[in-house]
Structure 1
Amino acid sequence: MNFKVMVCDDSAVARKMAIRCLPAALQGSVQQAENGRDALAHLASEHFDLLLLDLTMPECDGITVLDEIRARRYEVFVLVVSGDIQPQRKQAVKKFNTLGFLNKPVCAKRVCHILTSYGLY
């Protein structure tokens, strides 16, 4: 399976935890981005099937990344994984048709459930 995944979070620990929550078959094709600017640069140069995206990051936050994905018409499924659980942030994410919003720490069962429900795994 050639399913490319990017995990974007400013925390290296959070990125590693998110990668470990992916099904084993998807863990070998993961790239990492330390902030939204890095994620957008990766998306501009290659195709990804799935983006696990944090919201609160320096330089370029997750909402800005979602805005740019829409504006640039990148075709990538996005699953938001964030510690920012404010209702207004969750509401802001809904307008982007993401796969879902998972609170940190991320749970492998929830990730697999969402990917399975969308036919991605």
Structure 2
Amino acid sequence: MPLPIVIADDSLLARKVLTRALPEDWDVEISYATNGREALDHYRAGRAAVMFLDLTMPDMTGYQVLDALQHEDLNTFVIVVSADVQPLAQERVRALGAVAFLPKPVTPEALRPVLKEFGLHA
């Protein structure tokens, strides 16, 4: 059974780059969100065992999504993918429950060890 994942980013290009970085042999069902509210909708519908989350999106930021997930008993692996690589941003997202932080653009070489660390891919 495929693992449901959501890629949440308002940039079509960023969504495509991240999709291409996913391991080819990873059995996943991908949903896409263009803002934080859509990401939460996917989560609530059970389509986000793993969530790749941008921080800067319209309507609802990645920080706000993480905060909402905490209040809903976070039950997903959130990997933040952002161009904001400042240490403070990384600390803040981890405090809000993200398991990892990857800088944009994501490469397969950067993503694979993170997936392996959390038992999401061999």
- The reply to whether TM is greater than 0.5 is yes
- 4+ runs of 1 displaced by more than 4 Å? none
Aligned partner of 1:40 in structure 2 is: 40
Aligned partner of 2:12 in structure 1 is: 12
Deviates more, 1:84-93 or 1:29-38: 84-93
More helix per residue: 1
For structure 1, the 5+ residue unaligned runs are none
- CA, structure 1 residues 99+75, in 2 after alignment: closer, same or farther (shift >3 Å)? same
Contact 1:20 1:27 survives alignment (8 Å): no
Contact 2:6 2:31 survives alignment (8 Å): yes
Q: CA deviation at 1:86?
A: 2.2
Count of residues in Structure 1 that have an aligned counterpart in Structure 2:
121
In structure 1, what is the Cα distance between the partners aligned to 2:66 and 2:97? 10
- CA, structure 1 residues 83+27, in 2 after alignment: closer, same or farther (shift >3 Å)? farther
Deviates more, 1:19-28 or 1:51-60: 19-28
RMSD of Structure 2 on Structure 1 (CA): 1.4
TM-score, normalised to structure 2's length?
Answer: 0.91
Aligned partner of 1:26 in structure 2 is: 26
In structure 2, what is the Cα distance between the partners aligned to 1:57 and 1:28? 24
Percentage identity across aligned positions? 36
Deviates more, 1:77-86 or 1:25-34: 25-34
User: Are residues 1:64 and 2:64 paired?
Assistant: yes
Post-superposition Cα deviations, 1:34-65, rounded to whole Å, max 9, x if no partner, equal: 01011111112224210000001111000000
Secondary structure at the aligned position of 1:102 is classed as strand
Contact 2:55 2:63 survives alignment (8 Å): yes
In structure 1, what is the Cα distance between the partners aligned to 2:68 and 2:78? 13
